[in-house]
Structure 1
């Protein structure tokens, strides 16, 4: 599993030429399916339209680079917005996670995912800087049902029992 924060900023490299064609600016998520839908790149010729790569066109998401066959996989990002539950990862970071009962679980700081399938596996949550240093950050499996608001993510009350600290 890999953290999404580690992907943002990586170079996008063509396997046909070995040339860097872009860099990752953001990640587009389909929250309903808990999957990466695509990535936003900085390859726009004119800055009026965002450019991106669909996840199915990514050959591999490595630790140091994202590999694609060639530059033809880059398309206008508007193609990503055909679905309703689409979010940029940068929009989700720093949102407060609260249960339906009103219990604050912490702040969303990262998302772990499977690099081969793009499936989101868990949220990484910070309770506070002191708690992070003393006990480590908590992880929570991705809830099947969630509401993403302007500054909060609302999750089922049962999620509080599924929080764990990875050792």
Structure 2
């Protein structure tokens, strides 16, 4: 399983000339559609603005780099400011509760399929000590959820689907 945070910091390379276009700063995900919308890429030159890449324009998502056919895939960031989409760094660290008030943990990472960009599950943390002693927990992506400024609310059934990694 791939984790979304593993993509942050990867170089973005162009296949047509081999140049590094930038570096992945963040990702934008659509929780309701369970997909990655795109990537936010830092500019190579100082004082240049950040750009975005729509996930469908990515040629390959590798373990060490993101590959594009050419630099024409770069778009203004505004194209990824869609309703219902969230930046991964905004979601990280949110607490997750069930509808009945049961605390499940903090969102540490999101699992995804690199070929399709489909979100498949959450990795949950109970804190550094608990993670070290017992490991983190994983759960499939909930069908319905509410995203609040500092928490996620998921159906009660998700508490039964938690498992250790």
Q: TM-score, normalised by structure 2?
A: 0.95
Deviation at 1:46, TM superposition (A): 8.5
SS in 1 for 2:79: helix
Q: Does 1:43 align with 2:43?
A: yes
Q: Where does residue 158 of structure 1 map in the other structure?
A: 157
Q: Is the 8 A contact 1:49 1:77 kept in 2?
A: no
Deviation per residue, 1:27-71 (Å, 9 max, x gap): 010111110000001128786854100000001111100000111
Unaligned 5+ segments in structure 2 are none
Paired with 1:47 and 1:26, the residues of 2 have a C-alpha distance of 18
Structure 1 gaps, min length 5:
none
Is the 1:99–1:105 contact (alpha carbons within 8 Å) kept by the matching residues of 2?
A: yes
SS of the residue corresponding to residue 129 of structure 2 reads: helix
User: How many residues are matched?
Assistant: 165
Report the Cα distance in structure 1 between the residues aligned to 2:147 and 2:20, rounded to whole angstroms.
35
**Kept in 2: contact 1:12–1:68 (CA 8 A):** yes
Which residue is equivalent to 2:64?
64
Give the Cα–Cα distance (whole angstroms) in 2 for the partners of residues 129 and 49 of structure 1: 35
- 1:1-167 to 2 correspondence within 5 Å? 1-43=1-43, 50-81=50-81, 83-166=82-165
For the structure 1 residues 9 and 160, does the alpha-carbon distance in structure 2 shift closer, same or farther, using more than 3 Å as the test? same
Root-mean-square deviation over aligned CA pairs: 1.6
TM-score by length of 1: 0.94
